[in-house]
Structure 1
Amino acid sequence: MRLAAYEHEGLRRCGVVEGGRVRPFPVGTAVLDLVGGAPVPGTGAPVPLSSVRLLPPLEPPSVRDFVTFEEHVEGVRRSVGGGEGVPDAWYDAPTFYFSNPASLVGAHDDVPVPPGSAVLDFELEVAAVVGRGGSDLTPERARDHVFGYTVFNDWSARDLQSREMQVGLGPCKGKDTASTLGPWLVTADELEPYRDGEGYLRLALTAEVNGEVVGSDLLSNMGWTFEEMLAYASRGARVRPGDVLGSGTCGNGGCLAELWGRGGRQDPPPLAPGDTVTLTVEGIGSVSNTVVAGKAPEPVRGARRRPRDRP
């Protein structure tokens, strides 16, 4: 089953996608409710997908974005942080940071350049959505807690990210402006035929900029399975229905920064207004967003320097 949230004739709706149409659920139904176990209601007359604006398929309580592709770490570490190779600590556990659930955009929405940035990048990812809550899960138990999957584009202001990560707290405003989620949420059972013998989903991933392929990879090149990621996220914490777990950016051109790190120069160039990024994941679908001009940043002064006065 494929669940979509959308706007149609001024109303926010959700429904089941079948081919080029969506069958709407009753007004007031939310995908998040269905993810959490609410009964699936009946549907109304189908509406052509061409007549709706696709929204992020759900409003998640939280978004954790992992970094599970070794090849991505190798390339981006060089271009963003100036380091070489893969840190030993990366191999210890599936590291993640918390992204902004309020910054999600739909599959075909425009994406403004973040204020103050001149080096915008995309990131090709797949996200798992938690269905059942829980804590201290094992990977074996975690499989029953995954509701489904969707395409995830973690838009990144590389110049802001590179500067702020020198503070040592990880990305913040460099990742805060937009994340694409869509085009819909595919239930886990639909992707089971793609699972390989090691438990990974062998899905083909493709990234295009203005119709030109710049990257391609397999989701099965992840260092950890989604079940292992979910188990780690739940360690000493509680995951909730609707929580989003991003796979992290794939390798082999899953973002421009990886290519810049390998080539030693910004080629292809950073994204600019008018550029369209299309990300496609086998078994799920495609999202395609066009970059538009953003707002000028509101000024924020630097920290004051002062003596360490004491009482």
Structure 2
Amino acid sequence: MRFATYEHGGTVHAGVVSEDGVHAFPAGVTVLDLVRRGLPAALEAGGSVLSGPAVPLASVRLLPPLEPPSVRDFVAFEEHVEGMVAPASVPPEWYEAPTFYFTNPCALVGAHDDVPIPPGSRLFDFELEVAAVLGPDAIFGYTILNDWSARDLQRREMKVNLGPAKGKDSATTLGPWLVTADELEPYHDADGFLALDMRVAVNGVEAGQDLLSNMGWPFEELAAYAGRGTRLRAGDVLGSGTCGNGGCLAELWGRRGEQTPPPLKPGDVVEMTVEGIGTIRNTVVAGVDLPPVRRARSRHPRRRSR
């Protein structure tokens, strides 16, 4: 089943997507509510609205499928890590345990929304990923995630051994809807990974393609690691991290030693398709023009008292 959050007639609804369009739940029901109930109850609730009227998808604005309590983004593809480092190599620490960072759940955008370039960035990039959404006791479902990245801001931040922060927190696309885990069960391979084809194109030209099953860990192990020593909540989002083989521009730059293809610019259209889930398509637009950030003062001579 496919659960969506959408805007129609000036009102936000949760609904179930079918071949006829999207069927609305009663007012006040959200996709996060359904996720918190657990998959069996959500499927039952979804089935009860499928007999109702459908609104054509072409007449709605698809929003992020849910408002998650948190968004963790992992780096689970070995090939991506290798391509981001020159000369190509994978740090031995990558193999020891999954690594993730927290991104901004308030900056989620929908499947077809415009995406502004962050203030001060000249190296704007996409990242092709799949995200798992946690239920009360298991993975509830999956959606496509585009982890938009201001590479110049990100690189500066990470030289201070902290971040990424402003390099990542301006926009993250989730969509087009949340596909329940039972629908994708046939795609699991013998090792428990989801063998889904992933593709990204810029202005109609394919930039990258990979299989989700090339992850170093399956989502269940990412969730187990995320929950070590802390508490996970239903609705938490876990991103796979960028796939290999052109899952982002920075990986291609790292392998080629030059910025080819060039960084994203206003007017560029980034389209991502994941087998069994769907397609998201966002247009890059100019961002807010802000003045440069004031540099920190140097602490010299050292002050030990007033």
Q: SS of 1:36's equivalent?
A: helix
Question: 1:171 and 1:77 mapped to 2: Cα distance?
Answer: 16
Q: Deviations over 1:15-65 (max 9, x none)?
A: 000025001001111000000017544424111000000000000000000
TM-score by length of 2: 0.94
Which deviates more from structure 2 when the two are superposed, residues 12-21 or residues 90-99?
12-21
Question: 1:5 and 1:77 mapped to 2: Cα distance?
Answer: 38
**Counterpart for residue 275 of structure 2:** 282
Do the aligned residues in 1 keep the contact of 2:126 with 2:148 (CA within 8 Å)? yes
Question: 1:20 and 1:118 mapped to 2: Cα distance?
Answer: 42
2:148 is aligned, of 155, 159, 168, to 155
Question: 2:284 and 2:157 mapped to 1: Cα distance?
Answer: 23
1:221 is aligned, of 214, 217, 236, to 214
* Aligned length in residues: 296
Question: 1:84 and 1:182 mapped to 2: Cα distance?
Answer: 32
TM-fit CA distance, 1:14: 0.9
Structure 1: 5+ residue stretches without partners:
133-143
Do the aligned residues in 1 keep the contact of 2:88 with 2:255 (CA within 8 Å)? no
Which deviates more from structure 2 when the two are superposed, residues 34-43 or residues 16-25?
34-43
Structure 2: 5+ residue stretches without partners:
none
Q: Deviations over 1:187-217 (max 9, x none)?
A: 0000000000101000000010011111000
Question: 2:127 and 2:114 mapped to 1: Cα distance?
Answer: 16
2:67 is aligned, of 49, 59, 66, to 59
Counterpart AA for 2:275: E
Pairs within 5 Å for 1:1-311: 1-37=1-37, 39-40=41-42, 41=45, 42-43=48-49, 44-78=52-86, 84-132=88-136, 144-306=137-299, 307-311=301-305
Question: 1:19 and 1:169 mapped to 2: Cα distance?
Answer: 46
Which deviates more from structure 2 when the two are superposed, residues 301-310 or residues 270-279?
301-310
Counterpart AA for 1:90: W
RMSD of aligned Cα (Å) = 1.2
Q: Deviations over 1:211-244 (max 9, x none)?
A: 1111000000000000000000000010001100
Q: SS of 1:180's equivalent?
A: strand
